[in-house]
Amino acid sequence: MATSTLLKPFIAKSTKDCLVTNIKQGRRHTLINPVTAKPQNYYYHQTQSSELQHALECATQAQASWASESPGHRAAILRTAATIMSQNKELLSEMETSDTGRVIRETKYDVDEGVECLNYYAGLANTLGGEMYKLPGRSLGYTLREPLGVTVGIGAWNYPLQGALWKSVPALAFGNSMIFKPSEYTPSTALWLAECYAEAGVPEGVFQVVLGDGQAGEELVQSELVSKISFTGSAEGGRRVYETAARGMKKVTMELGGKSPLIIFDDADLENAVSAALLANFYSNGQVCSNGTRVFVHESIIEEFVNRLVERTKKLRIGDPRDVNTDIGPMAHNDQFEKVLRFVDIGVKEGASLLYGGKRVNDLPEELRDGYFLSPAIFTNCTDDMIICKEEVFGMLMSILSFTSEEEVISRANNTEFGLAAGVFTRDIQRGHRLVDNLQAGVTWINNYNIAPMNLPWGGVKYSGLGRENGTGGVESWTQLKSAYVEMGNVECDYPK
């Protein structure tokens, strides 16, 4: 029997008086392999309150000296981290695949994107400055862009490495410290990232990783030492974090759920539209917050579209995500596996037509048959009021809806409490711009879907979130402005002398 390995939180040990000893072990969490539904050889203990307080105090002390370093120095460290990450691409992608069940082709791309993120903000950090204003009487004013202080990042289980990077890289680039809590399901790559930062030269206490479930995150959010929280997760979880943060007047960034529309007009390139629908619903085994799960297809092409969609879906290769030829892996964990099956059952009972999939996959090698494998579900004859068209499933469940006119589809697409993303397929570029202008979403695409260049901001509206990550939007999310007025003359005072 293989020996289990204990994963430990990455918390500063020697920053001034922050040393903590005699910590009582918290609740044990064992990582589950989604491919086999069996325990992995890794476990960890819930980070305890005393450890969290220790991490917060260390982050506070470390942040001041980190912020005093030149932006160029911080940028050089981030570039070194990018080099270390690129050298460990195979290891990182294997770790991410083992934790999430996402296919190895995807997780290798995540590493490349992580390197891009590090280099992007390393380049941006050294270009930031304030503004100067000439004022009456030769006085002047200027602004200073300052870090926020101690920040908290709370990541999701679907993209653990990406989430840790999107939050920590701009935070560190602009002089903040961060305590990051990954999902209790997927802690491995965040812990690796902490080691990477340390090797690159990030000082002790500037980036720390704590482990556990929502209780650990809640304690961090409540702390008076924290000035900013960046949360990725469900809308329900985001509301709780936001309410707690508001009591302390803390700045927040929220990247929450979605029920995004993908709109396909009759003049669209059909093959490209089908490709986008596949990626917008089945990439990452359907576990993407921005997925376009409400696929609106013009009535004149819906039959042709559906036929081609099903034809290509049948060709998707479901199996071991470590195999480079696999297209679809397992769901990340059993709760999500069961949730998707419940939504498939709801869709059938609501009267939608289950055209394809939506079932447990049993035609697999024996060692995979207990894993969380599902076939992609395609529903037709859907209506806007169905639960499967209103609630976020976070799995491979596509709802296809017919539409007639541009005005109609805009109204229906916007008829949701969410507003993370939206996509439009049309050869009429003026129409594409009109729809993007009218769709209530934070991220939009014309003739593509789920592309996220690092220099474009990412975030939602309505119940899909607050604030932006990536691009120059990340500057606003991780810094604050201070104004300074410099008097060059005498103080004008009407009071008697």
Q: List strands edge to edge, sheet with 465-466.
A: 207-209, 177-181, 150-154, 228-232, 251-255, 465-466
| Longest CA span, the chain | 94
Which residue is catalytic, options 51, 106, 255, 392?
Answer: 255
Q: Where are the beta strands (DSSP E) in 171-217?
A: 177-181, 207-209
497 carries an active-site annotation: no
* Contacts of residue 249, Cβ cutoff 8 Å, sequence gap at least 6: none
Task: Tell me how far apart the alpha carbons of residues 278 and 295 are, in angstroms, rounded to a whole number.
Answer: 10
Annotated catalytic residue 90: no
Which residue among 58, 117, 196, 289 is the active-site one?
A: 289
| Spatial contact of 447 and 273, defined as CB atoms under 8 Å apart | no
What lies within 8 Å, CB to CB, of 491 at 6+ separation is none
Rounded Cα distance between 238 and 225, Å, is 20
Specify whether 167 is catalytic: yes
Distance CA(391)–CA(393), nearest Å, equals: 6
Judge whether 228 counts as a catalytic residue.
Answer: no
Q: Among 51, 57, 96, 167, which one carries the catalytic annotation?
A: 167
* 235-247 vs 214-222: helix crossing angle, rounded to 10: 30
Q: What is the DSSP letter of 268?
A: S
List, by residue number, the catalytic residues: 167, 255, 289, 469
